[in-house]
Amino acid sequence: MYSDKVMDHFTNPRNVGEIENADAVGQVGNVKCGDIMKMYLKIDNEVIVDVKFKTFGCGSAIATSSMATEMIKGKTVKEALNLSNRAVAEALDGLPPVKMHCSVLAEQAVKSAIYDYAQKNNLHYEELDGYNPNEEDDHHDHGVEEED
């Protein structure tokens, strides 16, 4: 059911763990199935120099967190904010439709961490306009999992 890439990231997840004195920490819960993802960022001069995650969730949730951390490491904060769940899923050679929502969790974790960073440092990113970390987000591509 999963691609080799997903299985690889599930078995050998990159960037698992915590960052002490992180510049940003974000935690999100999945409204669909109750999973939790926590992301830590170290940011230097608007560049994400280090990133770590922890995930309580399925294989796809673990793999998408891992892939998302790889994709934003070394990128600017702005670039990271533009990471979409689609892009993460594509980088993993796709996810089963019922598992698309797990990738939304990864995207949300990145956003929520950067939101934390913006709050702490009084920064403004237009990509975060209207973003509320405590709100259920429905504007994302959840795939076609509704068909049951």
Partner 1 sequence: MKKRVYLDYSATTPMKKEVLDEMLPFFNVQFGNPSSIHCFGRENKSAIDKSRGIIAKTLNARTEEIFFTGGGSEADNWAIKGVASALKDKGKHIITTKIEHHAVLHTCEYLEKNGYEVTYLNVDQYGLIDLEELKAAIRPDTILISIMFANNEIGTIQPIKEIGVIAKENNIIFHTDAVQAYGNVVIDVNELGIDLMSLSAHKIYGPKGIGLLYIRKGTKIQPIIHGGAQERRRRAGTENVPAIVGFGKASEIASEGIEDHISKLTYLRDRLINGLTEKIPYVFLNGHPTKRLPGNVNICIQYIEGESLLLSLDMVGIACSSGSACTSGSLDPSHVLMAIGLTHEVAHGSLRLTIGDYTSEDDIDYVIEQLPPIVERLRQMSPLYEKVKGGN
| Residues forming the site for partner 1 (CB under 8 A) | 2, 7, 10-11, 13, 16, 18, 27, 32-38, 54-59, 61-62, 98, 101, 145, 148
Residue 102 appears among annotated catalytic residues? yes
Q: Work out which of 10, 24, 35, 77 binds ligand FES, going by CB under 6 A.
A: 35
Q: Which is nearer to ligand FES, 2 or 117 (CB)?
A: 2
Residue 58 appears among annotated catalytic residues? no
Least Cβ distance, residue 17 to ligand FES (angstroms): 19
Residue 51 in contact with ligand FES, rule: CB under 6 A = no
Q: How far is it, in rounded angstroms, from Cα 68 to Cα 109?
A: 9
Q: Which of residues 86-145 bind ligand FES (CB under 6 A)?
A: 99, 102
Q: Which is nearer to ligand FES, 122 or 144 (CB)?
A: 144
